[in-house]
Amino acid sequence: MNKELAYIILLPLSSFLFMLGGFKWKAWRRFVLPVVLFYVCSLYPVSLIQGILVAILCMIVTSLPYGENSSWTVRIGTAISYGLIGIPLGFDWLMLLVPAVTILMLALSKWGVIQHKIAEGVIGFSIALPIANMLYKL
């Protein structure tokens, strides 16, 4: 199997599903994305428990609030939790970038610098990046 498959599948799909989940049906990011993460984990030497935990964490974390009605304290907490989705696989330094990217994208969106859909796509991409990176290293 090509080790780059995690990048090829996860990065665009996570971005796409995150944007789609902000468009109409939240379940795209809350339920479909975790299934995709689980499936890709199953292609690598990852235990079934690790794959299930990644999926469950993704379901929980992507259900947390971060929208206009949420305080910045809540948004920061949600951003931090986004970086922890891949923790059952271990630690990757890219996990530390996820909260920073999320907060930056939310701020730029709130200030009107970028359209919110761009923020969603970049956040989805950033969530998948450390997971894909860890899978690549296996």
- Per the model's pLDDT, the better-predicted residue between 119 and 22 turns out to be 119
pLDDT band at 67 (very low <50, low <70, confident <90, very high): confident
* Mean pLDDT of the region 110-132: 97
List Cα–Cα distances, 86 to 74, 109, 110, 123, in angstroms.
21, 26, 27, 15
Euclidean distance between the first and final Cα of the chain, in Å? 12
Domain limits of the chain? 5-137
Of the given ranges (7-11, 62-66, 83-87), which has the lowest mean pLDDT?
Answer: 62-66
- Per the model's pLDDT, the better-predicted residue between 26 and 99 turns out to be 99
What was the pLDDT predicted at 22? Answer: 84
pLDDT band at 69 (very low <50, low <70, confident <90, very high): confident
Q: Is 115 a residue whose pLDDT tops 80?
A: yes
The answer to whether the CB of 138 falls within 8 A of the CB of 43 is no
CB neighbours of residue 105 within 10 Å:
22
pLDDT in tens, 28-37: 999 999 999 9
The average confidence (pLDDT) of the chain is 96
In terms of Cα–Cα distance, which of 107, 67, 63 is closest to 82? 63
